[in-house]
Amino acid sequence: MLLIRLIFESFSFAYNALRANKLRTFLSLLGITIGIFAIISVFTVIDSLERYIRESLNALGSNMVYIQKWPWIPPEGETEYPWWKYLNRPVPTMEEAEEIMHRGASFQHAAFFYGFSRTVRYAGNQLDNATVMATTYDLFDVWNLNVSGGRYFSESEMHAGAPVALIGAEIADKLFPGMEPVGKFIKIQGFRFQIIGVYKRTGQDMFGTSMDNYIHISVIKSFYMVDVRNRDINQSICVKAKPNVSKGQFMSDVEGTMRSIRRLNPREENNFALNEVSLISSQFDQFFKVFNLAGWIIGGFSIVVGGFGIANIMFVSVKERTRIIGIQKSLGAKKYFILLEFIFEAVVLSVIGGIVGLALIFFGTLVVNYATEFTILLTAGNIIRGLLISSVIGFIAGLMPARAASRLNPVDAMNAV
């Protein structure tokens, strides 16, 4: 009961202080509001960006490796990217992808693929610089693709280079507005392709594994459209491990198989790159640590200023209520009662500022989500973090004024002017 009474009276004093000194309270809480807004907004953006990147990484797959000419990051122990070492490497080929599946015991699927840009036409509609994705049959299982309308290629269509294609949802919207694409014919570089399916819309990710903006054709057919034997257009082989195969065994098998296919002797370095998700993930971990630190630094100064503002308003509040404090103590109020009363009041004032800052962030996320395709979410974790920070700042800022109030002499306090 005593605690409930203390909380009620402190809240009443805080509310009356807010009403009686609106301008002073506004200026004092502005620092806390700005500080919480700065810190939590940075954390919210970073968390949303991290979630987006993690989802994109998951789409790449933790049990897959990309065999490519160029590594994604500099070699371990080096800070610069030695591109000159990789310039003369051979590009992966479709034959190597087929050979990998014949030799590897731990491989479930292997797909050879690359992309190139072409103008696509249907009737009077034209789409410039559309990305054509040329692949082998296994891409469907490697990337876990989903077809929303129509069907996927048959193996015979892929191997024969049949003039058929699947398109992404965005391509379908642009070329066939208000129409059913399946069964229609499009023209790419003078070649006619019949649309046999439309991929399920998934939204674009940062690594390009979404098929929304791709036109998917057989790699055999693409050989008539682009010279891949003598050009580097980022040809890649994606290898997927069988279930329950350890990462170490899988990576060792991929490396050994590729070295055997390319007939490298034991002293020769690999003339191919094995790119995996964990390489990017470790780089982003450092990136997020730096940005989280930046968030604390950016908002820290405003939080400190806001804390001084809370301390100032509490010292003024102690001065204005000196006689009331004297009366309370003369009637038997203990020091801890006065101490907790003012600390609670400071925490309430600070939390109000934090709530205002969180409200600004929430409305800001609504605006960003409405105006852009990037989704930002104010998570429960960040809301709790913001309230905890504001509560701690309120406690620290109110501690000294509360101690000063609790130590007042009752007689001197009642006689104060």
pLDDT digits (tens, 9 = 90+) for 205-243: 655 557 889 999 999 999 999 988 778 888 999 999 888
Above pLDDT 70, what percent of the chain? 85
Q: What pTM value is reported for the model?
A: 0.66
The span from the CA of 347 to the CA of 345, in Å, is 5
- Predicted local confidence at residue 262, as pLDDT: 93
User: Which 3 state secondary structure label does DSSP give 374?
Assistant: coil
The span from the CA of 261 to the CA of 90, in Å, is 12
Q: Is the pLDDT higher at 5 or at 65? A: 65
The span from the CA of 351 to the CA of 346, in Å, is 9
Tell me the pLDDT tens digit for each residue of 30-42.
778 888 887 888 7
Tell me the pLDDT tens digit for each residue of 157-212.
999 999 999 999 999 999 999 899 999 999 999 999 999 999 998 876 655 557 88
pLDDT band at 260 (very low <50, low <70, confident <90, very high): very high
pLDDT band at 47 (very low <50, low <70, confident <90, very high): confident
Using an 8 Å Cβ cutoff, are 279 and 365 in contact? no
The span from the CA of 271 to the CA of 259, in Å, is 8
Of 17, 14, 31, which Cα lies nearest the Cα of 343? 14
Question: What are the domain boundaries of the chain?
Answer: 2-56+282-414, 90-271
pLDDT band at 118 (very low <50, low <70, confident <90, very high): very high
- Predicted local confidence at residue 43, as pLDDT: 82
Q: Is the pLDDT higher at 66 or at 296? A: 66
Strand partners, 126: 121
What mean pLDDT do residues 135-159 have?
A: 92
**pLDDT for 10 beyond 70:** no
Q: Is the pLDDT higher at 269 or at 345? A: 269
The span from the CA of 392 to the CA of 310, in Å, is 12
Could you give the C-alpha distances from 269 to 79, 143, 336, in angstroms and in order?
19, 30, 73
**pLDDT for 72 beyond 90:** no
- Predicted local confidence at residue 151, as pLDDT: 95
Could you give the C-alpha distances from 192 to 66, 180, 314, 357, in angstroms and in order?
31, 18, 78, 57
pLDDT band at 305 (very low <50, low <70, confident <90, very high): confident
pLDDT band at 246 (very low <50, low <70, confident <90, very high): confident
CA dihedral 294, 295, 297, 298 (to 10 degrees): 110
